[in-house]
Chain A
Amino acid sequence: MTPLLSVRNLKTHFFLDEGVVKAVDGVDFDVFPGQVVGIVGESGCGKSVTIKSVMQLIQKPGRIIDGQILFRHHDEAGRETIIDLAQLDPHGKTIRSIRGAEIALIPQEPMASFSPVHTIGDQIMEAILLHLDVDEEEARRIAVERLHEVGMPNPEQRLNAYSWELSGGLRQRAMIAMSLACNPRLLIADEPTTAIDVTTQAQVLNLLLTLQKQHNMAIIFITHDLGVIAQIADFVVVMYLGRVMESGPVEDIFFNPQHPYTKALLESIPSIYAPAGKRLPTIEGSIPHPFSRPSGCPFHPRCKAFMPGVCNAAIPKLKAINDRQSVSCFLYDHAPAIVEGS
């Protein structure tokens, strides 16, 4: 099966006065139709920049400088062609016809992502009118239907509500309704549950999974929360400092992690089975300043398996170690692959 989305060696850098921030520096992953891919990593690992690159939403001074983002695009005539999103003009017509219609976004902060001076109905109907050939009345009907679908009570009346009049959970539901307005084939959810409380979080996750099955969408789900990943994802991509450390099916990542970073991450999850009084392991050190990226493998200063002269000399490539998992680590790759050039 060909993937719906295939990201190859994506590099997105930000050119600031103080220097270049390599927010995403060589990322590879695939998303298959109907699959839920979870991208997990600490804040600042480049997961948000990755998906913004996919949607061509990177603003100056950032730029996609290398790599491919191959997407199975359905053009107006309904033909399927594979296009490289990385090559598209960020303001161009093609990417705009994909955004919202084929690839939709659920943002991190539903509160700030709705305009406070426009009604929710206005903003949802706008998404519909942009991509579907319908009149205003039909758009209103679809908007109500979507709001109903996401479990919004009294959807007709909510159309006239402002985002700040809704509770956190309802606001996120409205946001999901807006994203689903045009039946996208790929939904990108950027930490959609961080801003809401845990109970509502579970409801929203369940809702997303239900809708995913109904619409047979693929979802890229971004989070720093491994618990959420375990609940929702089929396939997991672990990122650190702009690079993929490990990727694989969710059960392998959780029960058979290979990369030292993945192991460290999993160890630092608090567990109710852990013996009382035992300290929770943490990852030594802290994420480096964006201007002072470590040489070689970005994780080496904090890595328990650090090999001097190897890990800090070259960047390991992401390689398949079995038919399920891929890892970028010299523990599995004996010859240093790329020597850092800069």
Chain B
Amino acid sequence: MSDDRVSEANQEAQEARHADLTALSEWNQARLEDEREDAAAIHVAPNWKLTWWRFKKHRLALVSGLVVILLALIVLFPGFFSTMDPHKSRAQQSFVPVQRIHFIDDGAFRPFVYGIVGRRNPETLRMEWKIDEEKKIPITFFARGFEYEVLGLFTTNIHFIGVKEGDIEENPIYLLGTDRLGRDQWSRLMYGTRVSVSIGLISVFVSVFLGVLLGGVSGYYGGVPDLIIQRMIEILQSLPAIPIWMALTAAMPRDWSVEQTYFAITLILALIGWTTLAREVRGRFLVLREEDFVMAAKLSGATQSRIIFRHMVPTFYSHIIATATLAVPVMIISETFLSFLGLGLRPPAISWGVLLQEAQNLQSVAIAPWLLLPGLAVIITVLALNILGDGLRDAADPYSH
């Protein structure tokens, strides 16, 4: 084709061009450049940023993340969220029903709860509680109440919610009712949350440590260590976890302190929990070992630890976080049922399982169905952690779509 023809066509077309066409093409050009910039941002974004972008799209996981943050706050400051002393028994106030918070009083924001009056049923000799609509107990935020320790550093008596005036023991508010011994279930749930969730977290932490270490050794070195660790995992995984956990917790001496049983349970749960993670980590290492970028790092003389921690681990640590998140609920449920069966933590320790033990008696539950409410806390927590974990896992996997 001749150059003449090109320039001729060019000229003709330029003459024919309209003003709006220029505008259109300029607009197109600008749009194109924007898109290129977006694409360029994607190319240079670090892995965690990509993960975060993908995670943000998962609405439900974001909400679950907020629930988990709230849980973390309760775990750190259970005293602050409690209203009454969780250990204190009030013989006269057993099975007080749930007192709902009303926020609007006479059209204004003045939160209060109705008082309760008890009457002993002459036939069954049981206390029967009624809501007393005459009596309003005004409640307020950041109220004074019982003394508690904050992270073992100092003591205070400020609580998130409390009664506006007077002593809370005289005008008690039972947000989740009371149990057989008249203990405030809401405050017990707060302290139980600290124990149950932290057991889950710590045992997963131990599992992750063991899993990454042993799985890493197994996958990176292969050979004899791999063989031994693999057989160990297979045997541990073919063990029926629940009876084993039961037997091990039952073997704990009865005279151990609450702290000792707490850590023993954590270790017992972690003992079986690490195998799944180790398998995953090993699988990743096996694949990564063959990757070109690992070979390139080796050839450029990187040390082994540098290859492992700078080149290999960053490609899958988001997976580890996701898997660990998904492992926490399993641990929480396990602790709950062990304590529920009376094999794990025992009173005076408070955990979700210990709380639910009160609901084991069908007669108690029939009178006081709110004793089942700690179960709801378990469900919400497990739900939030599972959705969060799934969201993280989906976000961490760039090849899923």
Interfacial residues, chain A to chain B (CB-CB below 8 A): 17, 289, 291-292, 294-296, 305, 307, 309-310, 312-313, 330-331, 334-336, 339-340
* Interface membership of chain B positions 62-93, coded 1 if the CB is closer than 8 angstroms to chain A and 0 otherwise: 00000000000000000000000000000000
With CB as the reference atom, state the residue of chain A lying closest to B12.
A334
Is B35 positioned at the interface, with any CB of A under 8 Å from its CB? yes
Q: A295-B32, A339-B21 are in contact. Are A310 and B10 (CB under 8 A)?
A: yes
8 Å CB contact of B1 from A292, A305, A340 = A305
**Complexed CA–CA distance, A308 and B57 (Å):** 40
Contact sample, A vs B, 26 pairs, CB 8 Å cutoff:
A17-B57, A291-B35, A291-B39, A294-B32, A295-B25, A295-B29, A296-B25, A305-B6, A307-B6, A307-B9, A307-B13, A309-B14, A309-B21, A309-B22, A310-B9, A310-B13, A313-B17, A330-B9, A330-B13, A331-B1, A331-B5, A331-B9, A334-B12, A336-B13, A336-B16, A339-B24
A-B CB proximity, top 7 nearest: A295-B28, A310-B13, A292-B35, A307-B10, A313-B25, A313-B21, A309-B17
Closest Cβ of chain A to B32, distance in Å, is 6
Contacts of B14 in A (CB 8 A): 309-310
Is B36 positioned at the interface, with any CB of A under 8 Å from its CB? yes
Apart from A289-B35, A310-B13, A334-B12, 5 more pairs, CB < 8 Å: A292-B36, A296-B25, A307-B6, A307-B9, A340-B24
* Interface membership of chain B positions 18-53, coded 1 if the CB is closer than 8 angstroms to chain A and 0 otherwise: 000110110011001001100100000000000000
With CB as the reference atom, state the residue of chain B lying closest to A292.
B35
Structural contact, A340 and B28, CB atoms closer than 8 A: yes
Structural contact, B32 and A334, CB atoms closer than 8 A: no
**Complexed CA–CA distance, A204 and B119 (Å):** 94
**Complexed CA–CA distance, A295 and B16 (Å):** 18
Closest Cβ of chain A to B272, distance in Å, is 33
**Complexed CA–CA distance, A292 and B16 (Å):** 27
Main secondary structure of the interface of A (DSSP, over half): loop
Main secondary structure of the interface of B (DSSP, over half): helix
Contacts of A340 in B (CB 8 A): 24, 28
Contacts of A291 in B (CB 8 A): 35, 39
Closest Cβ of chain B to A117, distance in Å, is 23
With CB as the reference atom, state the residue of chain B lying closest to A333.
B9
Place the interface of chain B in its size category. 20 to 34
**Complexed CA–CA distance, A335 and B9 (Å):** 9
Q: A292-B39, A294-B32 are in contact. Are A313 and B10 (CB under 8 A)?
A: no
**Complexed CA–CA distance, A296 and B24 (Å):** 11
Contacts of A312 in B (CB 8 A): 25, 28-29
8 Å CB contact of A331 from B6, B36, B39 = B6
**Complexed CA–CA distance, A330 and B29 (Å):** 20
Contacts of B13 in A (CB 8 A): 307, 309-310, 330, 334, 336
8 Å CB contact of B9 from A294, A313, A334, A339 = A334
With CB as the reference atom, state the residue of chain A lying closest to B20.
A339
Contacts of A331 in B (CB 8 A): 1, 5-6, 9
**Complexed CA–CA distance, A335 and B17 (Å):** 10
With CB as the reference atom, state the residue of chain B lying closest to A332.
B9
With CB as the reference atom, state the residue of chain B lying closest to A335.
B16
Contacts of A305 in B (CB 8 A): 1, 6
By CB atoms of chain A within 10 A, which of B10, B17, B22 has the most?
Answer: B10
Q: Which of B301-326 touch A at CB < 8 Å?
A: none
**Complexed CA–CA distance, A150 and B353 (Å):** 69
**Complexed CA–CA distance, A330 and B36 (Å):** 26
**Complexed CA–CA distance, A331 and B5 (Å):** 8
With CB as the reference atom, state the residue of chain B lying closest to A294.
B32
**Complexed CA–CA distance, A117 and B28 (Å):** 51
**Complexed CA–CA distance, A330 and B57 (Å):** 43
**Complexed CA–CA distance, A312 and B22 (Å):** 10
**Complexed CA–CA distance, A171 and B188 (Å):** 67
* Interface membership of chain B positions 368-394, coded 1 if the CB is closer than 8 angstroms to chain A and 0 otherwise: 000000000000000000000000000
Contacts of A313 in B (CB 8 A): 17, 21, 24-25
8 Å CB contact of B25 from A17, A289, A309 = A309
Contacts of B57 in A (CB 8 A): 17
Contacts of B16 in A (CB 8 A): 335-336
Contacts of A292 in B (CB 8 A): 32, 35-36, 39
Contacts of B5 in A (CB 8 A): 331
**Complexed CA–CA distance, A336 and B9 (Å):** 11
**Complexed CA–CA distance, A339 and B6 (Å):** 21
Contacts of A310 in B (CB 8 A): 9-10, 13-14, 17
**Complexed CA–CA distance, A295 and B31 (Å):** 10
**Complexed CA–CA distance, A331 and B7 (Å):** 10
**Complexed CA–CA distance, A334 and B5 (Å):** 11
Contacts of B6 in A (CB 8 A): 305, 307, 331
